[in-house]
């Protein structure tokens, strides 16, 4: 599918303005005007809380654009009429021959209709009718000539959300699995489900969270790789992990996770901890553990995260392991910030980075994924008003946005299981981490949404650091870039485009899985595969679709490939470095995982 083109901003962009973004509301000419504007912001903030931070402007615009183009497309209307007739015939044939293969099947990630009784009448008729309607709307919201592709995708998303709300699987009297469970338990499943619903509703209203289930305690079962906190400021703690081998590689590794998540997604359980895997391979590993910002930190900026975050951590690593290049690893938005930092360092002649690994990290945001489908000026202003009083974007507001991408599975299937079938959620390490959400400082969140996602300044040559534009092509350190096949947050085609904006030696890996599951692809994980390629310095660019056809999948985990690549970059084996450097101002402060990971 060709990339979605963002709408041209209506305001003229300053090519050097990035860290000092324009004020959301222009300066008032009088105190009265300022008070009126503050009243407007407060009102919009209330509406934003009620809507979960989603502006209705994009909804109306998308439907209006789609409807207007549909009205003046009689041929398309005829096509949709014929498609509806075909679907109706398929449904009729399925009713007349109950032994025939179902004409419509759920999408691979849709688990609402897995119970075998959905193949019995009348449940099969309801299921097939729903899937036929879903198929028609998928067809109806395909791009039309003249229709903005962004609005077509928005219309499809909205149609899918509406259909998911009225799916027969959501109603106890239409769902055979609920009917069977009610009959077998004498209705106990519904009473237990109602109890769970009441408790969940109280927790939602109070903002309380359940403690981690037994066997998933942070610092004991999760985030449990041995190490020490060797530096702390108000923004992050730096963890140095203890060596697990007699000798280690001479060069250290610094991992920069996204501030949108707790760092221990990369140090989950012992069997799937990327950190433990690296130290077991003889690497000296450092990890940034970001704070969970409060309203007092509302003014934290992108520049703070670069300078007092990534660069401060780099200074500490270079002091503890002196005179050696550092091999930096960035995940998700942490990878984006690492790319910005690396380009700035290259511009300024700072050669401390020996290599750079970017995992599920975008540098170009034309294809930003479904999470940002509705991002426009109205939406950003809405979020800014939401954050205006509270000083941050809160955890539930972010969690709802992620869940909406796959609502049929993450919302409706879970709710049916919990509230109508009375079943407890099965605890898992990634589930515990996923529930351990973070907040986003107001200023930083606004800056990266505007500068990166909305205006795409980084690859457009308009992203300035300290008043001077940076360019990714200045990066000379070797790159190892990882995309995941089913990533709906950072689509792999977007991650792949790192090759379009850099000229250095680059290894690209495409691995099976989604944004988190594809990265957590430890050796021995069943059903995994990956594709890998190497682009030497100065090679010609190959598009993602062509690249995909040229590289066959290889079975297994991509981690060993990465470990071999890192080993080739990080020098020979030598005695492990000391923990911290007290004589240089970096004493060991406390055992890993530190304090910040426990911040509520």
Helix ranges restricted to H, 218-301: 274-280
Q: Of 366, 371, 350, 237, which Cα lies nearest the Cα of 291?
A: 237
291 as an active site residue: the answer is no
pTM to 2 decimal places: 0.84
The active-site residue out of 148, 291, 332, 504 is 332
Per-residue pLDDT of the chain (600 residues), as tens digits, is 444 444 444 444 444 444 444 444 444 456 666 666 665 655 655 565 555 556 667 778 888 888 999 999 999 999 999 999 999 999 888 777 777 788 899 887 788 898 999 989 899 999 999 999 999 999 999 988 888 887 888 888 888 888 988 999 999 999 999 999 999 999 998 998 898 888 888 876 766 677 778 889 999 999 999 999 999 999 999 999 999 999 999 999 999 999 988 999 999 999 999 999 999 999 999 999 999 998 888 889 999 999 999 999 999 999 999 999 999 999 999 999 999 999 999 999 999 999 999 999 999 998 876 666 667 777 777 677 667 666 666 655 555 555 555 555 557 777 888 888 888 877 889 888 988 888 888 888 888 888 888 889 999 999 999 999 999 999 999 999 999 999 888 999 999 999 999 999 999 999 999 999 999 999 999 999 999 999 999 899 999 999 999 999 999 999 999 999 999 998 889 999 999 999 999 999 999 999 999 998
Do residues 261 and 255 make contact, with C-beta atoms less than 8 angstroms apart?
no
* Burial zone of 207 (CB within 10 Å; 0-12 exposed, 13-18 middle, 19+ buried): exposed
CA angle 305, 306, 308 (to 5 degrees): 65
* Token pair 């923004």: residue: 235
Residue 410's pLDDT is: 59
Q: How many residues does the chain have?
A: 600
pLDDT reported for residue 389? 65
Residue range 227-366+456-598, CATH number: 3.40.50.1820
| DSSP assignment string, 570-600 | S--EEEPPPSSBGGGTB---EETT-SGGG--
| Nearest Cα to Cα of residue 55 among 389, 451, 380 | 380
φ and ψ at 465, to 5 degrees?
Answer: -120, 125
Crossing angle for the helix pair 176-185 and 188-206, nearest 10 degrees? 110
Nearest to 133 by CA among 99, 97, 103, 96: 103
Is residue 252 within 8 Å of 580, Cβ to Cβ? Answer: no
Residue limits of CATH 3.40.50.1820 in the chain: 227-366+456-598
Q: Please tell me the predicted confidence (pLDDT) of residue 394.
A: 66
């Amino acid at each position: 599918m060709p990339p979605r083109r963002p709408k041209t901003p209506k305001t003229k962009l300053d090519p050097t303005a990035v860290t000092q973004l324009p004020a959301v509301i222009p300066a008032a000419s009088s105190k009265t005007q300022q008070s009126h504007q503050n009243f407007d912001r407060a009102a919009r903030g209330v509406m934003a809380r009620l809507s979960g931070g989603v502006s209705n402007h994009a909804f109306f615009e998308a439907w209006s654009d789609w409807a207007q183009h549909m009205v003046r497309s009689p041929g398309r209307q005829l096509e949709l009429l014929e498609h509806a007739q075909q679907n109706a015939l398929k449904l009729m044939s399925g009713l007349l021959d109950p032994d025939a293969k179902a004409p419509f099947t759920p999408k691979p990630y849709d688990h609402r209709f897995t119970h075998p009784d959905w193949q019995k009448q009348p449940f099969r008729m309801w299921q097939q009718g729903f899937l036929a309607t879903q198929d028609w709307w998928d067809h109806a919201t395909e791009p039309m000539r003249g229709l903005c592709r962004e609005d077509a995708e928005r219309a499809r998303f909205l149609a899918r959300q509406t259909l998911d709300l009225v799916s027969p699987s959501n109603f106890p009297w239409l769902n055979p699995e609920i009917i069977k469970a009610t009959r077998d338990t004498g209705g106990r499943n519904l009473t237990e489900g109602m109890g769970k619903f009441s408790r969940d509703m109280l927790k939602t209203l109070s903002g309380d969270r359940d403690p981690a289930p037994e066997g998933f305690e942070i610092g004991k079962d999760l985030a449990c790789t041995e190490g020490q906190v060797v530096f702390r400021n108000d923004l992050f703690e730096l963890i140095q992990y203890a060596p697990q081998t007699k000798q280690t590689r001479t060069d250290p590794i610094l991992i920069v996770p996204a501030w949108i998540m707790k760092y221990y997604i990369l140090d989950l359980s012992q069997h799937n901890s990327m950190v433990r895997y690296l130290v077991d391979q003889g690497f000296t590993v450092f990890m940034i553990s970001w704070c969970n910002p409060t309203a007092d930190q509302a003014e934290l900026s992108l520049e703070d995260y670069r300078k007092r975050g990534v660069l401060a951590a780099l200074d500490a690593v270079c002091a503890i392991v002196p005179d050696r290049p550092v091999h930096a690893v960035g995940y998700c938005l942490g990878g984006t910030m690492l790319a910005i930092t690396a380009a700035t360092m290259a511009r300024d002649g700072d050669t401390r980075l020996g290599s750079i690994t970017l995992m599920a990290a975008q540098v170009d945001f034309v294809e930003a994924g479904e999470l940002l489908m509705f991002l426009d000026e109205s939406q950003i202003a809405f979020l800014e008003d939401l954050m205006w009083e509270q000083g941050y974007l809160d955890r539930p507001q972010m969690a709802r946005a992620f869940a909406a991408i796959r609502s049929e599975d993450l919302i409706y299937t879970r709710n049916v299981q919990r509230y109508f079938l009375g079943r407890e959620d099965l605890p898992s390490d990634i589930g515990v981490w996923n529930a351990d959400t973070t907040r986003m400082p107001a200023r930083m969140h606004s800056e990266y949404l505007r500068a990166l996602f909305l205006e795409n300044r980084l690859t457009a040559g308009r992203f300035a650091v300290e008043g001077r534009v940076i360019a990714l092509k200045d990066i000379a350190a070797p790159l190892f870039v990882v995309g995941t096949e089913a990533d709906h947050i950072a689509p792999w085609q977007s991650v792949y485009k790192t090759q379009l904006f850099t000229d250095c030696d680059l290894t690209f890996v495409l691995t099976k899985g989604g944004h988190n599951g594809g990265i957590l692809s430890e050796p021995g994980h069943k059903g995994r595969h990956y594709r890998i390629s190497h682009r030497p310095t100065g090679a010609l660019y190959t598009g993602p679709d062509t690249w995909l056809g040229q590289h066959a999948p290889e079975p297994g985990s991509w981690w060993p490939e990465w470990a071999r690549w890192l080993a080739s970059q990080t020098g020979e084996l030598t005695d492990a470095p000391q923990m911290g450097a007290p004589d240089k101002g970096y004493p060991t402060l406390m055992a890993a995982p530190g304090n910040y990971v426990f911040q509520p």
